[in-house]
Each structure stands twice: as structure tokens, then as C-alpha cells.
Amino acid sequence: MKYTNYPPIPKQDLPDWELLSKISIIDNNEPLQPVSLSSKLKMYPAYYKLRVTYALPECFVRDSVLDRLHMAADLLPSDLSLVVLDGWRPFSVQQYLFDTLVNLLKKANPEMSLDKLLSKARTLVSPPSDNPSTPSPHLTGGAVDVTLCDTNGRFLDMGTSFDEASDYSWTFALEEAALDDASSLIQARNNRRVLFSIMQEAGFTNLASEWWHYDFGDQLWAERTGSKTACFGATSVCGIEQMWKDQINSIKN
């Protein structure tokens, strides 16, 4: 058994969504950075690999998020690497993911009310929102989905796959499921503990329903840490047209 010296993951509640929506955002305008240029991190753009419509072949995160990912990577045992699966996410991808999940849940649970369907879907995918006061976490560049791999590039067993619609996807779930010393989930539990420990030490907060989802600087992070403000609002990758427009306008001024 490996990685046995990391503390248990504490049980967490889901965010108080009403409180979260009232947290003001004072965006510090940090730029998005491509993860692929980092020598300390691995990148596997999961949604692009899964052929999700409009998904990008690159993972982008805010400047200080990249710094903290590097901090987390430095805390890992030498035989492990931190893998970024997703960061900044276009609104169109968020819309596709949420709508697809809601439709699948509706087909599987035809008697379930719309409110319950939306609430259940929210544990796995945030509702799409480009509202400046309540943007979807991944739209801010402050949310990041991560996992671990070994020196041979093999993903570690985390008990579920990324984005799996399972009760075991809750970060704490394996702390209870692996209580039996003979459980096949013990190593997966230990692997989760490694990820949770390094990400928390680097300043990230975790979304209770997703072992892979961590936040820094967005409203989810602010709600978890008790911060009165979030420092990341909705942002976007700058295209060539917008870049030229900004440059031309700056020359005029």
C-alpha cells in the first residue's frame, strides 16, 4: 500500500449557493495562462479528448492559479505528477455539459421534479451562467479539475473516473467506503488524500461532490474560505480580433 502518511479527508457540505451568489467580485484582471507550457505540470484536456462540442485542446488558468498549481506539484512525492484536466471553460461547453446531464437524468428518472433534477445535476456540473455577478466557476479561470499520474503517465486510481456520475465521486466518499482493511478502495482513498492534501496546502478549496474539482479566487473559493470578495469574475481567452481592437484603441487614446 502506498501514500499512507496523508491525513483523512474531512467531510464537507455543499456550498451555500444563495450565500455564494451574494459574494461580490472585484476582478484583479489577471490573464489566463496556458498550462501546456509548464514544465512542472501534465495536461490532458479531458473534454477535448472526449470530443465535447466547443471544447479546447488547451487548459487555461489564471496567473496565480498556475502559481499555486506549481506549489501543489512541488509537494508531491517524486514518483507522482499533477495532471490538469480542465481549467477555464467556454460558456458553450458549460451549457452543453449541463443540458446533456439534465436530459440524461430526466430520462433515467422520469418522475423526478425539475427542481430535483437541477439540484442533482448541480452536484456534478454547475449551471451555465455568464451573469457578471454569478459566473460559472470554470468561466472565471479560477476553477481547475485535476488528478494524479505516475512516472509512466498512468492515471492513479481515484475510485471513479473524472466526471463520473456516482456517489463515490464525492471527495469524502472513500473515507467511509474503504473502512474495511480488505477493501479494494483503500489505495484509491490514499490517492485522493494525496491530491486533497497538496491542493489544500497550496491554497485551493475543494467542491465536496467532485474529488477532482478545486478552486482559487472565484466565488466558490470565497464561500469556502469566508472571504468577503472573490478576485476572479468571468473572463475569456483573447482572440486576434479583440487583441487588435484593444491595441488600436490604446493607440488612439
217 Rama sector, left if φ>0, alpha if ψ -120 to 50, beta otherwise: left
Cell of residue 28, nine digits:
484583479
pLDDT for 239: 67
Confirm whether residue 246 is marked as ligand binding: no
SS3 28: coil
Cβ-contact 82, 65 below 8 angstroms: no
The four Cα atoms 228, 230, 231, 232 give a dihedral, to 10 degrees, of -170
Domains and CATH numbers, the chain: 27-252 (3.30.1380.10)
The confidence band for 179, taking pLDDT boundaries of 50, 70 and 90, is confident
87-106 average pLDDT score: 89
Q: Which of 85, 114, 117 is nearest to 101 (CA)?
A: 117
pLDDT at position 177, please? 85
Mean pLDDT, range 166-181, rounded to an integer: 88
Of residues 201, 210, 223, 241, which has the active-site annotation? 210
Relative to beta strand 213-215, strand 205-206 is antiparallel
Active site residue 111: no
Q: Is 70 one of the annotated binding-site residues?
A: no
Is position 86 annotated in a ligand binding site? no
Q: Return the pLDDT at 243.
A: 62
User: What does the pLDDT read at residue 187?
Assistant: 94
As a whole-number percent, the residues of the chain with pLDDT over 70 amount to 96
Confidence at residue 242, expressed as pLDDT on a 0 to 100 scale: 64
Helix, strand and coil percent figures for the chain, each rounded to 5: 40, 15, 50
CA-to-CA separations, 115 to 87, 106, 237, in angstroms, rounded:
28, 11, 33
Percent of the chain with pLDDT over 90: 72
- Is pLDDT at 171 greater than 80 in this prediction? yes
Are 73 and 101 a contacting pair, CB within 8 Å? Answer: no
Specify the pairing of strand 24-25 against strand 229-230: parallel
Q: Give pTM, 2 decimals.
A: 0.90
37-81 pLDDT, tens digit per residue, is 999 999 999 999 999 999 999 999 999 999 999 999 999 999 999
Per-residue model confidence as pLDDT tens digits over 109-132: 888 888 888 888 877 788 888 889
